[in-house]
Amino acid sequence: MKKKILTLITASLFCCAGFSQTDGDVASQNERYNLTLEQCIEYAFGNSLERQNMKLSEKVSEYSYEQAKNNRKPQVSGSISESVSHSGRDSDVNIGGNIGVNAGITLYQGRAIKNNIEKSRLEAGNAVVRTEQYDHNLIIKILQYFLNALSSEEMLRYQKVIIETSEEQLRQGEEKYKVGTILESDYLILQAQHANDECNLQSSQINRDNALLNLKLALSMDPNAELTLVYPDTTDMEALAEMPSVETAIQRTLDTYPDIILAKSNIEVARINEEITRAGRRPTISASAGMSTGHSKFNDFGNQLADRFSQNLGVSMSIPIYDKGKTKTSLKMNEIQTKMAEVDLQEAELKLRQTVAVEHANVELAYRQFKVNEKRTKAYKAVYDAYNMKFKYGTITSVDLLQQQNNYINYLTDYVRSKYSFILERKILDVYMDYPIKYEAVRINK
């Protein structure tokens, strides 16, 4: 029996088992969810209220851009008026009316219309990039909670196997105590260890439940929903450790990261604001056209409209001469804002270079720690197995056995933490480089 249990520990240590699950992304009415990492991200994108607001802001920016383009078109208006007047005691009542159509268009405004269109286009693009910026941060948050939940679940599975081993040790100890091959103190130590193992199991269950609750909150999911995570394939850690050089990772990030794209766009918007301000020094040329007619009484109504039908066409120019220095002051302020935007870009690039370089180093360090802990865990597992055999045949005390068990559990905990810490660091680097966050799920039949 003991050999079977120890074999089960070994198998669970170096094989990534999956959670119990059913087919389908979502089991509907009872709010039961079976989600992979990718599905968690999709769920969060679809349910985040903040993200929905950002998508609505994108629509507003699109409409503003369309309106900016429409400002090139002429404006047409119509008017109809009828009036009745009377004065004095004996005068007649006067009836009159007018009908007219007028149109106006700005032919030239110092390129302000064109620049406003370009500015609106950039702002519409910025709204999309800000959503992408939010998505990057949300993905990192989900990665942290998802992998923390997996780590807690894996540790819980190990604790369940350890408690089975502890129960077998306690049974053997009881038999040895009854026949007098071990002291009562050794048997009491085994009882205390079993109680401690049960406490550790409960603690692992609480950690797992809290990790799932944090993930639900990040997903904007009902906290009472039943969430089961589909385990990713983490067996090929060497392949996961492959990554581009730090220089390539930095350049890729600088080319694609939303913060940099926004910073560059802000420079363009600032420069366009300068041009729009300069338009205040240039003349504005407008054209207008109109048609109108009217009547004084309803006698011979049709002839009156025809006789009074008139048309007009005109071109006007407005030339700014002196505006109390407003344009000059505004231009200086715009130039400062452009320089500030350029400094912001330099600062963003510097910070991002540092962040990616540190993250790249963190991935390498996390992988080395994982490999060290993997070897340590294998070694202490072998020692633990050997001491279990010695305890079975009565060549060591329970104190010796439990000391090795505690060593094994400590290194097992370090192994699980280092594994998911490495995966998290590696995937965060992918987020910075704008690579898809994917894991092929492995379904384990229990």
pLDDT tens digit sequence for 275-285:
999 999 999 99
Q: Which residue has the higher pLDDT, 79 or 15?
A: 79
User: Among 28-42, 129-143, 325-339, 346-360, which stretch is predicted with the lowest mean pLDDT?
Assistant: 28-42
If one counts every other C-beta atom within 10 angstroms of the C-beta of residue 167, the result is 15
SS3 assignment, position 405: helix
Q: Residue 245: which of 348, 352, 347, 356 has the closest Cα?
A: 356
* Type of residue at 261: I
Kindly state the helix (H) or strand (E) to which residue 33 belongs, with its residue range.
strand 32-35
Whether 135 has a pLDDT exceeding 60, the answer reads: yes
Q: Which residue has the higher pLDDT, 16 or 90?
A: 90
Could you give the CA distance from residue 157 to residue 444 in angstroms, rounded to a whole number? 14
Q: What is the pLDDT of residues 197-225, one digit of tens each?
A: 899 899 989 999 999 999 999 999 999 99
Stated length of the chain: 446
Q: What is the pLDDT of residues 388-431, one digit of tens each?
A: 888 888 888 888 888 888 899 899 999 999 999 999 999 999 99
SS3 assignment, position 192: helix
Q: Which residue has the higher pLDDT, 309 or 7?
A: 309
Could you give the CA distance from residue 211 to residue 283 in angstroms, rounded to a whole number? 65
- 431, 140 Cβ separation under 8 angstroms: yes
> Residue 193's pLDDT is what?
87
Tokens representing 238?
């060497």
Average pLDDT for 84-97: 73
Query: Domain 2-81+95-432 is in which class?
Result: mainly alpha
Q: What is the pLDDT of residues 71-81, one digit of tens each?
A: 999 999 999 98
Q: Which residues, including other chains, have CB under 8 Å from residue 136's CB and lie 6 or more apart?
A: 257, 258, 431
Could you give the CA distance from residue 166 to residue 196 in angstroms, rounded to a whole number? 10
> Residue 90's pLDDT is what?
63
Whether 301 has a pLDDT exceeding 70, the answer reads: no
- 119, 269 Cβ separation under 8 angstroms: yes
> Residue 187's pLDDT is what?
87
Sheet of 32-35: strand order equals 26-27, 32-35, 226-229
Kindly state the helix (H) or strand (E) to which residue 98 belongs, with its residue range.
strand 94-108
Whether 437 has a pLDDT exceeding 60, the answer reads: yes
Whether 10 has a pLDDT exceeding 70, the answer reads: no
SS3 assignment, position 23: coil
> Residue 199's pLDDT is what?
92
> Residue 1's pLDDT is what?
37
SS3 assignment, position 291: strand
Whether 23 has a pLDDT exceeding 70, the answer reads: no
Q: With bands split at pLDDT 50, 70 and 90, how would you rate the model's confidence at 88?
A: low
DSSP string, 340-399: HHHHHHHHHHHHHHHHHHHHHHHHHHHHHHHHHHHHHHHHHHHHHHHHHHHHHTTSS-HH
Average model confidence (pLDDT) across the chain: 86
Could you give the CA distance from residue 419 to residue 403 in angstroms, rounded to a whole number? 24
Q: With bands split at pLDDT 50, 70 and 90, how would you rate the model's confidence at 439?
A: low
Distance of CA 52 to the CA centre of its chain: 12
* Type of residue at 282: R
Q: Where are the domains of the chain?
A: 2-81+95-432
Average pLDDT for 327-337: 95
